Structure 1
Amino acid sequence: MLDKSALTSRTVRLHKRDNLIVAVDPLNPQSVVHDITVRERIPRGHKMAIAPIAPGEPILKFGQVIGFASKPVMPGEWLHEHNIEMHDFSRDYHFAEDAILEPILPFEARATFQGFRRATGKVGTRNYLAILTSVNCSASVARFIAREVERSGLLDEYPNIDGVIPLVHGTGCAMDTRGEGYEILKRTQWGYASNPNMAGVLMVGLGCEVFQIGRWKELYGIQESETFRTMTIQDVGGTKKTVEAGVSAIRDMIPIAARAQRETVPASELMLALQCGGSDGYSGITANPALGAAADLLVRHGGTAILSETPEIYGAEHLLTRRATTREVGEKLVERIAWWEDYTSRNHGEMNNNPSPGNKAGGLTTILEKSLGAAAKGGTTTLNDVYHYAEPVTARGFVFMDTPGYDPVSATGQVAGGANVLCFTTGRGSAYGCKPTPSIKLATNSEIYRRMIDDMDINCGDILDGISIEQKGQEIFESILQVASGQRTKSEELGYGDAEFLPWQVGATM
Structure 2
Amino acid sequence: MLLNQISRHDNVAVAIEELTVGQSYTVGSTTVSPKVTIPKGHKIALEDIPAGKNIVKYGFPIGHATEDIKVGEWIHSHNVKTNLGEILEYQYHPEGLESLEQKTIPATFDGYRRKNGRVGVRNEIWIIPTVGCVNRTAHLIAKSANEVSKAVENVDGVYEFTHPYGCSQLGEDQSNTQKILADLVNHPNAAGVLVLGLGCENNHIEEFKKVLGQYDSERVKFLTAQDVEDEVECGMKIVEELLAQAAMDKREACPISELIVGLKCGGSDGFSGITANPLVGEFSDKLVANGGTSILTEVPEMFGAETILMDRAENEEVFGKIVHLINDFKQYYEDHKQPIYENPSPGNKKGGITTLEEKSLGCTQKGGRSKVVDVLGYTDVVKKKGLTLLSAPGNDMVAATALAASGCQVILFTTGRGTPLGTAVPTMKIATNSDIYKRKSNWMDFDAGVLLQGQSMDSVADKLLLHVIEVASGRFTKSEEMGFREIAIFKNGVTL
TM-score normalised according to structure 1 size:
0.93
CA distance in structure 1 between the aligned counterparts of 2:15 and 2:426, rounded to whole angstroms:
33
Contact 2:186 2:215 in 1 (8 A): no
- Equivalent runs, 1:218-297 vs 2, <5 Å: 218-223=210-215, 225-237=217-229, 241-297=230-286
Equivalent of 2:53 in 30, 50, 57: 57
- Counterpart amino acid of residue 402 in structure 2: G
Change (3 A) 1:469 1:212: same
Tell me, yes or no, if the aligned pair for 1:95 and 1:324 is still in contact at 8 Å: no
User: Which residue pairs with 1:149 in the alignment?
Assistant: 145
Q: Deviations over 1:441-465 (max 9, x none)?
A: 1110011111111211111111111
Matched, 1:203 2:187: no
Tell me how far apart the structure 2 counterparts of residues 223 and 365 of structure 1 sit (CA, whole Å).
48
Does 51-60 or 221-230 show the bigger shift? Answer: 221-230
Could you tell me how far apart the structure 1 residues matched to 2:327 and 2:174 are?
Answer: 21
1:355 aligns with 2:344: yes
Of residues 437, 450, 455, the one that matches 2:438 is 450
Corresponding residue for 1:96? 94
- Taking a change above 3 Å as real, the CA distance of residues 38 and 413 of structure 1, as seen in their structure-2 partners, is same
Deviation string, structure 1 residues 214-251 (Cα, Å, up to 9, x no partner): 122123433571211112222224xxx11111111101
Q: 2:393 aligns with which of 404, 420, 430?
A: 404
Q: Does 1:433 align with 2:422?
A: yes
Q: Distance in 1 between matches of 2:102 and 2:36?
A: 50
Which stretch has the larger CA shift, 124-133 or 482-491?
482-491
Matches of 1:50 and 1:413, distance apart in 2: 41
What is the aligned counterpart of 2:16 among 11, 24, 34? Answer: 24
Structure 2 gaps, min length 5:
none
Partner of 1:3: none
> How has the CA–CA distance of structure 1 residues 448 and 71 changed in structure 2, closer, same or farther, with 3 Å as cutoff?
same
Once the two structures are superposed, the pairs formed by residues 73-152 of structure 1 within 5 Å of their partners are 73-88=69-84, 93-102=91-100, 110-150=106-146
Q: Deviations over 1:351-382 (max 9, x none)?
A: 32211111100000111100100101111111
> For 1:170, which of 164, 181, 191 is the aligned residue?
164
What is the aligned-residue identity percentage?
39
Structure 2 Cα separation of the partners of residues 275 and 68 of structure 1 = 27
Structure-2 separation of matches of 1:438 and 1:47: 34
Shift of 1:52: 1.4
| 8 Å contact from structure 1 (residues 96, 330) kept in 2 | no
Matched-pair contact (CA < 8 Å) for 1:282–1:445: yes
Q: In the aligned structure 1, how far is the partner of 2:214 from the partner of 2:13? A: 56
Moved more, 334-343 or 253-262: 334-343
Alignment match, 2:477: 489
Q: Distance in 1 between matches of 2:394 and 2:121?
A: 25
- CA-to-partner distance for each residue in 1:299-319, whole Å, 9 max, x for gaps? 111110000010111111111
Q: CA deviation at 1:22?
A: 0.4
Structure 1 segments unaligned to the other structure (5+ residues): 1-7
Q: Which of the numbers 364, 367, 373 marks the counterpart of 2:362?
A: 373
* Structure 1 position 462 matched with structure 2 position 450: yes
CA distance in 2 between partners of 1:93 and 1:31 (Å): 46
Residue 183 of structure 1 and its aligned partner are, at CA, apart by 2.3
1:278-310 residue CA offsets vs partner (Å, 9 max, x unmatched): 100000000000011011111111110000010
**What secondary structure is seen at the aligned counterpart in 1 of 2:294?**
strand
2:204 matches 1:215: no
SS of the residue aligned with 1:433? coil
Distance (Å, rounded) in 2 between the aligned partners of 1:222 and 1:297: 34
- Aligned counterpart, 1:476: 464
Map of 2:33 onto structure 1: 37
TM-aligned CA deviation for residue 405 of structure 1 = 0.4
Q: Deviations over 1:122-169 (max 9, x none)?
A: 11110010000111111111111112223xx42132142111111110
